[in-house]
Amino acid sequence: MRKLASCFVPLLAGILLIPVMWNTAVASDEAIPRPGMVTMVDIGAKKCIPCKMMAPILEELEKKYQDKAAIVFVDVWENPDAGAKYGIKLIPTQIFYNAEGKEVLRHEGFFDKAAIVNELQKLGVE
């Protein structure tokens, strides 16, 4: 338990410093998945701690994969119908779609950058 606590405290300090800005947020009427494009949708809330931890990762990946893959954030508190639409049980949930729009992976909880990049590469995103 001591190791967990020592790792958790620095994470908490970092969480408090993370600005809550998602350029990836979408209007509820935008097409998800994006037609003809590999799409990763992160469904969460701006006040959820694991979601806050993922915010800078999503922003970085959105820039890195611009025009190669769609990285999208949907806030279920701002878009309450999204939970039912995507069958969400907990947040954050990440859903990966291939370029044909077929769901190929669903992950619940925090998902680190390396794991997201790995999944995008499996879908052919360079």
Q: Which residues are catalytic?
A: 48, 51
Grouping H, G, I as helix, E, B as strand and the rest as coil, residue 39 is strand
Indicate the length of the chain as a whole number: 126
DSSP 47-95: T-HHHHHHHHHHHHHHHHTTTTEEEEEEETTTSTHHHHHHT-SSSSEEE
